[in-house]
Amino acid sequence: MPSIQSVALLHDWEHLSLPQQVAQMLVVRASGHLFDHQIQYPDWEPSAAILQQWVQELGVGGVILLGGSAAEVGWRSQQLQDWASLPLLIAADIEEGVGQRFAGATWFPPPLAFSAIAHQNLSQAIAAAEQMGAITAQEALALGINWLLAPVVDVNNNPDNPVINARAWGETPEIVSQLSTAFLRGAQNYAILTAAKHFPGHGDTAIDSHLELPILTHDRQRLDRVELPPFEAAIAQGVDAVMTAHLQIPSLDQQYPATFSAAILMGELRQRLGFQGLIVTDALIMGAITNATASTKRLYWLLKREPMC
């Protein structure tokens, strides 16, 4: 495990060189399986030797794990921390519990199922969501995962949405806010990080951002009324990170997708909503970025030149 001295160094980041500081801002994807022949997505997941180089020599700040059993991931997390000179963020997209990604752990129903309970008994749904957050946090920590890339706080108000749908906690900002903050309360009983996603709201799109760039045509009044309240609730609840959405909102920024937009991330999220935590992008391999406009392609090309991205 990293030494006490290396943990202390985290509080004095100015002692890191510029390349080290840049590396600490990167999270790379890796397989949770133990052996290279088990890697399911070789285009996106490095071999063990390359992963070790990224962590040990380049000093990336985090790893997001996908695939493998709970037992494998526990071993993999320990291996990664042993390689690192600074403690790693080890993350996973576990919106439905640890078992959603890693066999042998608890796999809950999708969050939208809790909305169905809420229509019958709101207090029962809130209690269940809070318990889900607590169990997810406990199991994640047992495997060495210290960052939940959850909850989704998008409002699922478009029946044609191919990417959010059942991942959302509900179809109204009120229900989403109440259930997602309950999940956060449960998780916050444990020493784990959380993330609200996908800012500023991915619920009302009919395009999958894994494939193309969605365009949200709502004006500010609509965003303030529907999309943004769950993020405001999550921020008030003390969520640690906010994940960006790969979508374009011309009423806020006519040039860049939210992920690359200073107007949205600094002007809206930081200044207007007062969020002071970590801002993290959604995956940079998604089609909304790789197949985007020429200006965005230029940004992506610059990022892609570094193998860590």
Asked whether residue 270 carries a pLDDT value surpassing 90, the answer given is yes
Cβ atoms of residues 230 and 176 within 8 Å = yes
- pLDDT for position 10: 54
Q: Looking at residues 76-81, what average pLDDT do you find?
A: 98
Question: Which residues are CB-neighbours of 31 under 8 A, at least 6 positions away?
Answer: 38, 39, 40, 41, 45, 65, 66, 67, 68
Q: How confident is the model at residue 292 (pLDDT cuts 50, 70, 90)?
A: low
| Alpha-carbon span 304 to 300, nearest angstrom | 6
| Alpha-carbon span 283 to 26, nearest angstrom | 11
**Nearest CA-CA partner of 269 in 222, 200, 210:** 200
Distances (CA, A) of 188 to 132, 173, 175, 243, 264: 12, 22, 20, 18, 27
Give the CATH number of domain 108-140+149-189+198-309.
3.20.20.300
Phi and psi (nearest 5°) for 295?
-65, -40
At 63 the three-state DSSP class reads strand
- Which position has the higher pLDDT, 23 or 305? 23
Instruction: Provide the sign of the torsion angle of the four alpha carbons 15, 19, 25, 31, taken in this order.
Output: negative
Give the CATH number of domain 1-92.
3.40.250
At 204 the three-state DSSP class reads coil
Q: Do domains 1-92 and 108-140+149-189+198-309 have the same CATH topology?
A: no
Mean residue pLDDT across the chain? 90
Residue given tokens 């001295």 in the structure block = 5
- pLDDT for position 214: 85
Asked whether residue 172 carries a pLDDT value surpassing 70, the answer given is yes
**Least-confidence region, from 2-11, 121-130, 166-175, 253-262:** 2-11
The burial of 208, by beta-carbon neighbours within 10 Å (0-12 exposed, 13-18 middle, 19 or more buried), is given as middle
Asked whether residue 27 carries a pLDDT value surpassing 80, the answer given is yes
Q: How confident is the model at residue 179 (pLDDT cuts 50, 70, 90)?
A: very high
Name the token pair of 148: 């939940």
Give the pTM.
Answer: 0.89
Phi and psi (nearest 5°) for 154?
-70, 145
Asked whether residue 193 carries a pLDDT value surpassing 60, the answer given is yes
Question: Which residues are CB-neighbours of 121 under 8 A, at least 6 positions away?
Answer: none
**Tens digit of each residue's pLDDT (9 = 90 or more) over 83-108:** 999 999 999 999 999 999 999 999 99
Q: Looking at residues 34-60, what average pLDDT do you find?
A: 95
Catalytic residues: 210, 282
Phi and psi (nearest 5°) for 252?
-105, -35
Asked whether residue 124 carries a pLDDT value surpassing 60, the answer given is yes
DSSP state of 255: S
Query: Domain residues of the chain, as ranges?
Result: 1-92, 108-140+149-189+198-309
